[in-house]
Amino acid sequence: MNNMGINLDEKNLKKQIIDCMKSLHSRGLMTGVGGNASARQMGEEKAWITPSGLYKPDLNPSDLVNIDLEGKVIEGMFKPSIEWYFHTAIYKKRTDVNAILHTHSPFTMGLALANVKLRPITFEAATILADVPILPFKYPGTEELGNQVGDTILGKRAMILQNHGVITVGFDLIEALSTVEILEEAAIMTFVANIFGPPEEIPSDQIELIKKLYKI
Ligand SMILES: [Zn+2]
């Protein structure tokens, strides 16, 4: 993964989606048929999204599907991910978002399933993960789920679909991918610490300072 922070041309944007899928799969953050991704060039009313049903780590750029924000296929030979509803709902509401990832990160989900909240155990957890809402279970791939995701993720970098998975958003794919990684890292640290006792947290006066500095 490279080209951080650059508004990529279409060819490199598609390659970055493919690289993201391979990276997430190789680290066990999604299965070959679970998870999906999309990205758009800044400000566009359309996005490239992973196809439905295909084995994600083996995807080629030509397998990706270009859809408009109503889910209509503009280009591509496969059906878009069944989760296109929430991808387009997010793009419609968040002009600051150009990339969306959906994973089934096992430690993040394990803690959410047990209703264990992530605490401010690291600087990243205190800032990026200060507020990760959990949406109660809704059947995947529905317009209802899409609309609720669009509303819930306003002003957030990540959210959890209970009994299902994680959604992260970013200015670009690198930012969305980093948030998946930070979430899972904090979840693993929390899991390990809880074996021996409650995890040590950043002192509350320091949290207040962080919140002021980062306007959380
Ligand atoms: Zn899923």
pLDDT band with cut points at 50, 70 and 90 for residue 5:
low
44 noted as active-site residue:
no
Catalytic residue among 45, 70, 75, 83: 83
Neighbours of ion ligand 1 (CB under 5 A): 165
Residue 44 CB partners (closer than 8 Å, separation 6+)? none
> Which residue range forms the structural domain that includes residue 70?
10-214
Query: What global pTM score does this model have?
Result: 0.93
Each residue's pLDDT tens digit, 21-43:
999 999 999 999 999 999 999 98
CATH code for the domain in which residue 187 is found = 3.40.225.10
Position 2 in a domain: no
Each residue's pLDDT tens digit, 88-136:
999 999 999 999 999 999 999 999 999 998 888 998 888 888 789 999 9
Each residue's pLDDT tens digit, 12-21:
999 999 999 9
- Domain count across the chain: 1
Between the two ends of the chain, the Cα-to-Cα distance in Å is: 29
**Could you tell me which of 106, 132, 144, 138 has the C-alpha nearest to residue 24?**
106
Position 87 in a domain: yes
Orientation angle between helical segments 173-196 and 10-26, nearest 10 degrees: 20
Each residue's pLDDT tens digit, 66-96:
999 999 999 999 999 999 999 999 999 999 9
CA of 16 to the centre of ligand 1 (A): 20
d(CA 155, CA 142): 23
d(CA 81, CA 214): 35
Position 1 in a domain: no
